[in-house]
Amino acid sequence: MSFLTDRERKEETLLLISTFVIVLLTDASFLFYVGAILVFFIPVVHRKGQLTKKEWMSNFVYVSALLFAMFIVNVLIDKIFG
């Protein structure tokens, strides 16, 4: 059961999307990992650890998508500029 208001959900979603976009726009692998960690932990900190199982899985999917995007971007950069 989620205890967030609509405004808090929008703030959290904006944080997740902005972190994802900033990380994708950078070319540093280290920042990809930092971004993945941030995407996973922003909701945890924002909700003081009170996440449902579905929300934990959702966070895991965000992190997996971010790491997959990192892999694709790095491969494309190597193919184009390598």
| Residues 21-69: tens digit of each pLDDT | 766 666 556 666 676 677 667 666 666 667 777 777 777 777 777 778 7
Domain count, the chain: 1
- Segment 4-21 shows an average pLDDT of 72
Cα 57–62–65 angle (5° rounding)? 120
Instruction: Please indicate, yes or no, if residue 64 is contained in any of the structural domains.
Output: yes
The CA-to-CA distance between both ends of the chain, in Å, stands at: 48
Domain extent, residue 71, equals: 6-81
Q: What is the pLDDT of residue 75?
A: 81
Is 1 a domain residue? no
Tokens of 49: 């650890």
* Whole-structure pTM value: 0.49
State the pLDDT at residue 14: 77
**The predicted structure's pLDDT at residue 24:** 66
